[in-house]
């Protein structure tokens, strides 16, 4: 059977029936909205609408986050795709100790909760430390495991247990240093604490020469990952994949290549696309060299939605 990742609010009755870590989140839910919930629930996976995860790298201010959320939610509705708003409350892996880190856990999660409620949109953010997992899961629909941390057993277990407790999803970004097959380890660790509501994200592979290589055969391998229950849905990060790490005090990038990579990944069959965006990328406090200009996002969404539609009708 196809495996799906359910994103969005889950009714309290389901939360109560899955309160312990021995219970996995169900792999399918009705795509119809439950009006008693704060957020529409939907599935990501085979034969489902394309999902877009979009937002700024760093939550710089609530006003800016709200502006971006409004724009990407509208663009997604016009393109006919599912949408998750993304914003990081902390960037713990900056190139320099002087770099901006974000508003912190308490304020950042509060901002995400407000956006979630106002726009009825699922939200996601990075979790860098095990101690953050429960506080994030209480308000955030998708807990994201940063690529550099995807092998950290304690972090994966804490995130998995928190996701089960609150009925959330987990998105694990594939480490730049891992082969697709090695991501089976992360899936198994999450499964061992009862978390089966998982998505994996490809974001390029580094070979140490200041460029991330995008291996589309590897994406196919990731979509066919040999794990119990079948491979989780796969997302492609089109903006981080353009990074040129190690080229200065901050990581460089080729954002002009992101739309092309997004089109290629959707044509390859991925179930979701991750894209960071900002009203003025050059002035962004994090990932200024890779983020898409917010004004260009609607056209990109329409293009990749059209490609996905062709595949589903083929």
Structure confidence at residue 34 (pLDDT): 37
3 state DSSP class of 17: helix
36, 120, 139, 310 from 222: Cα distances, Å: 36, 31, 29, 22
CA–CA dist 305, 294 (Å, integer): 17
CA–CA dist 252, 28 (Å, integer): 39
Structure confidence at residue 246 (pLDDT): 63
Q: How is residue 70 written in tokens? A: 């409004």
Structure confidence at residue 102 (pLDDT): 82
Structure confidence at residue 40 (pLDDT): 74
Instruction: Give the tens place of pLDDT for each residue, 7-41.
Output: 996 544 444 433 333 323 333 333 333 333 446 78
Structure confidence at residue 290 (pLDDT): 86
Structure confidence at residue 150 (pLDDT): 97
Instruction: Supply the CATH number for residue 217's domain.
Output: 3.20.20.70
- As for how many domains the chain has, the answer is 1
Those residues of the chain that have pLDDT short of 70 are 1, 9-39, 92-100, 246-251
Q: Can you name the residues that pair with 44 across neighbouring β-strands?
A: 5
Structure confidence at residue 52 (pLDDT): 98
Backbone angles phi, psi at 273, to 5 degrees: -130, 130
Structure confidence at residue 279 (pLDDT): 96
User: Is the CB of residue 273 less than 8 Å from the CB of residue 263?
Assistant: no
CA–CA dist 83, 69 (Å, integer): 10
3-state SS string for 50-87: CEEEEECCECCCHHHHHHHHHHHHHHHHHHCCEEEEEC
CA–CA dist 112, 149 (Å, integer): 22
Structure confidence at residue 313 (pLDDT): 87
Structure confidence at residue 91 (pLDDT): 75
CA–CA dist 157, 153 (Å, integer): 6
Range of the domain at 132: 5-313
Instruction: Give the tens place of pLDDT for each residue, 168-182.
Output: 999 999 999 999 999
């Amino acid at each position: 059977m196809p495996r799906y990742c359910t994103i969005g609010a889950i009714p309290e009755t389901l939360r109560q029936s899955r309160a312990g870590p021995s219970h996995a989140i169900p792999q399918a839910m009705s795509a119809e909205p439950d009006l008693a919930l704060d957020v529409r629930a939907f599935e990501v996976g085979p034969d489902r609408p394309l999902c877009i995860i979009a937002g700024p790298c760093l939550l710089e201010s609530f006003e800016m986050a709200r502006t971006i959320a409004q724009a990407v939610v509208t663009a997604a509705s016009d393109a006919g795709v599912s949408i998750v708003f993304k914003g990081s409350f902390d960037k713990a892996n900056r190139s320099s100790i002087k770099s901006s880190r974000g508003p912190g856990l308490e304020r950042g999660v509060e901002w995400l909760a407000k956006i979630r409620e106002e726009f009825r949109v699922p939200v996601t953010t990075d979790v860098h430390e095990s101690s953050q997992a429960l506080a994030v899961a209480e308000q955030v629909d998708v807990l994201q495991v940063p690529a550099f941390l995807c092998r950290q057993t304690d972090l994966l277990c804490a995130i998995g247990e928190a996701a089960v407790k609150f009925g959330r999803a987990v998105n694990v970004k594939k480490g730049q240093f891992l082969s697709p097959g090695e991501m089976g380890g992360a899936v198994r660790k999450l499964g061992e604490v009862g978390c089966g509501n998982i998505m994996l994200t490809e974001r390029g592979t580094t070979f140490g020469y200041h460029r991330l290589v995008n291996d589309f055969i590897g994406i196919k391998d990731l979509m066919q990952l040999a794990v119990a229950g079948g491979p989780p849905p796969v997302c492609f990060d089109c903006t981080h994949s353009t990074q040129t790490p190690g080229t200065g005090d901050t990581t460089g990038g080729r954002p002009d290549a992101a739309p092309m990579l997004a089109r290629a990944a959707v044509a390859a069959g991925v179930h979701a696309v991750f894209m960071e965006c900002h009203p003025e990328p050059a002035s962004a406090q994090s990932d200024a060299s890779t983020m898409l200009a917010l004004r260009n996002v609607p056209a990109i969404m329409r293009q990749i939605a059209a490609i996905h539609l062709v595949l589903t009708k083929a």
